[in-house]
A and B are shown apart, each in its own frame.
Chain A
Amino acid sequence: MGFLTRSTETAPCTVEVCHTFDELSAHVRLDNGAVINPGDTVQVHGAPVLAGYGEHITEQRTATITRASTVEQIWTRLTGDFEFMELCEFSFSEEATL
């Protein structure tokens, strides 16, 4: 990770998608213990994992981690807090008019 430059690395990962009546969830776990820091991006390769209704899918995939530059990391640390509103049920539509 540079001050202004990004770097990338790949990591094996496990994708778990559960699309059942009792649970709707989707998670990615990096299997080599790589740690995600503020501002980093993660892209899981391959076709979208689409679990049909009633399915619980676990797949091994590869992910590319793009490490944020130091500047981006600091910026994310300073501003990320303001995205807290996303946790509220009433915040997910973009517009004030539907």
Chain B
Amino acid sequence: MNAHAKHTADATTVEESLAIQQANAAFDSKAATDLAMQNTLLTPRFYTTDFDEMDAINVEPVRKDWDKLIGQMKADPNKGHFKKNADWDQIDWEGMDPALKAEFLDFLVSSCTAEFSGCVLYKEMKRRGNNKDICELFALMSRDEARHAGFINDALREAGVAVNLGFLTREKKYTYFRPKFIYYATYLSEKIGYARYITIYRHLEANPEQRFHPIFKWFKEWCNDEFSHGEAFALLMRTDPKLTQSFTNKLWIRFFLTAVYSTMWVRDHARPEFHKALGVDIDWYDQEVFRKTSTIARQVFPLELDIDHPRWLPNLRRMNDAFLAMDRAKKRGGLGGLLGRAAAGTKAAMAFVALYTIPVVKNEVPAQVRLEPSY
């Protein structure tokens, strides 16, 4: 791959840096046509929602906090941060353990796709909405997500993976998200994203010898963006108390928390080599991320999951076993595979119910919504 191309981080003058970038661009297009680079097609989802309902949002009850947050985002403190500098160490991709490389690339591609999906969703909201406050917020968030995606993409290019945006000409089906689901889901995904990145960042700060790729050095600023996006959704949820306080919506919040936490558990356990290289025990890491996310979410959710309950970890493990059995059944195929899938599906559903029915910890939301990243 790019082994012969000099890195821009090594350039000493602007001219040199530009020349390197040009050479890289030429190399990339040639490599992409030669299929020398592994081609990864991004497959984001496309969403539509009830735009009239979104337009009807009134941020007046939280106006002071809202304007302050939007002001911060407009000031764009992270502009220019997401570029490589002298801290960007060269990586010997060829020499990396193949199992670790596969898991790490999967991590980068899925991170890039998630940023990208957020970017597409937010831009669509901005385009179709008529509410000035909401459109402004979504435009700013879309900017951040596109920037993050660009940064991860750059790391992927170095590893010889070309991200393909050809998905646009494929048939795309638009799915539907109720506005309140957008708030719960994006709030949680932004806050849990913050908790995940900051936990890794702090761990590597204490154990720099485990940092096998320089991208982790950028995690702090990256996750501060995630944090402020989450803040915006926290304020949005505060504009209408029903969103978090009605009986049905409490059940939904509980559902979202259980689904997101258990999915994260299963997905992280699929990347043993990645976590081993970081020196992170996956069980510890996931519990730590849940704990941070739950603590932050006290700003807006009236309940939190009891992750220290005796039924919590055993059922997460059961859930993971069910997904592993599902994979094996899919590979097996045929009638046996079909029966195996049904059995695994039942097992996963039972584990989910067991997790969902763990009594939750009630929480009185504070009068003051806004938080600053403090981990």
Interface residues of A (CB under 8 A from B): 15, 17-29, 36-54, 66, 76-77, 80-81, 83-93, 95-98
Q: Is B4 an interface residue (CB 8 A)?
A: no
Whether A24 touches B176, Cβ cut-off 8 Å, given contacts A49-B168, A97-B324, is: no
| Residues in B whose Cβ lies below 8 Å from that of A22 | 82, 146-147, 150
- Who on chain A is nearest to B163 by CB? A24
Q: Within 8 Å CB of B151, what residues of A? A: 21
- Number of B residues, CB within 8 Å of A: 83
Task: Contact check, B28 vs A83: say whether CB atoms are below 8 A apart.
Answer: no
Most buried by B among A38, A44, A84: A84
Q: Is the CB of A17 within 8 A of B165?
A: yes
Known A24-B146, A98-B106: A91·B263 in contact at CB below 8 Å: yes
For the complex, is B68 an interface residue (Cβ under 8 Å from A)? no
Contact of B118 among A28, A87, A93, A97 (CB under 8 A): A87
B9 on the A face (CB < 8 A)? no
Q: Which residues of A contact B326 (CB under 8 A)?
A: 96
Of all chain B residues, which has the CB nearest A50?
A: B166
Interchain residue pairs with CB less than 8 A apart (21)? A22-B146, A24-B153, A25-B120, A26-B116, A39-B176, A40-B174, A43-B170, A47-B169, A49-B168, A76-B174, A76-B175, A81-B177, A84-B184, A85-B259, A90-B264, A92-B114, A95-B270, A95-B327, A96-B320, A96-B323, A98-B106
Query: Which of B118, B120, B263 interacts with A26 by CB under 8 Å?
Result: B120
- The stretch that binds A, out of B188-196, B210-218, B307-315, is B188-196
CA distance A26 to B123 in the complex (A): 10
The distance in angstroms between the C-alpha atoms of A38 and B47, with both chains bound, is: 8
A41 adjacent to B123 (CB under 8 Å): no
For A95, give the chain B residue with the smallest CB separation. B327
Q: Is B357 an interface residue (CB 8 A)?
A: no
Closest B residue by C-beta to A65: B174
Q: Known contacts A48-B168, A52-B32, A98-B270; is A84 also within 8 Å of B110 by CB?
A: no
A36→B174 contact, CB < 8 A: yes
| Nearest CB of B to A40, in Å | 5
**Across the interface, which residues of A come within 8 angstroms of B192, CB to CB?**
88
Separation in Å of the B174 CB from the closest CB of chain A? 5
> Closest CB-CB distance, B166 to chain A, in whole Å?
3
Q: Which residues of A contact B142 (CB under 8 A)?
A: 25
Cβ-defined contact, A91 with B110, below 8 A: yes
A11 to B328, CA, bound (A): 44
The reply on B63 being an interface residue by CB < 8 A is no
A9 to chain B, nearest CB (A): 15
- Cβ–Cβ contact A20 & B270, under 8 A: no
Question: Which one of A39, A46, A83 lies within 8 Å of B45 (CB-CB)?
Answer: A83
Task: Kindly report which residue of chain A lies nearest to residue B186, judged by CB atoms.
Answer: A87
Tell whether B303 is near chain A: CB-to-CB under 8 Å. Answer: no
Q: Could you tell me which residues of chain B, from 125 to 149, have a CB within 8 Å of some CB in chain A?
A: 127, 142, 146-147, 149
Q: Which of B48, B83, B269 has the most chain A CB atoms closer than 10 A to its own CB?
A: B48
Evaluate contact between A28 and B168: CB separation under 8 angstroms: yes
**Does B117 sit within 8 A of A, measured CB to CB?**
yes
Residues of A within 8 A of B146 (CB): 18, 22-25
- Alpha-carbon separation in the docked complex, A25 to B110 (Å): 15
Question: Contact at A98–B150, with CB atoms within 8 Å?
Answer: no
B320 / chain A contacts, CB cutoff of 8 Å: 96
What are the 7 tightest A-B residue pairs by CB atom distance, in nearest-first order? A48-B166, A38-B176, A80-B176, A92-B110, A84-B185, A96-B323, A24-B149
Q: Are B327 and A97 in contact (CB under 8 A)?
A: yes
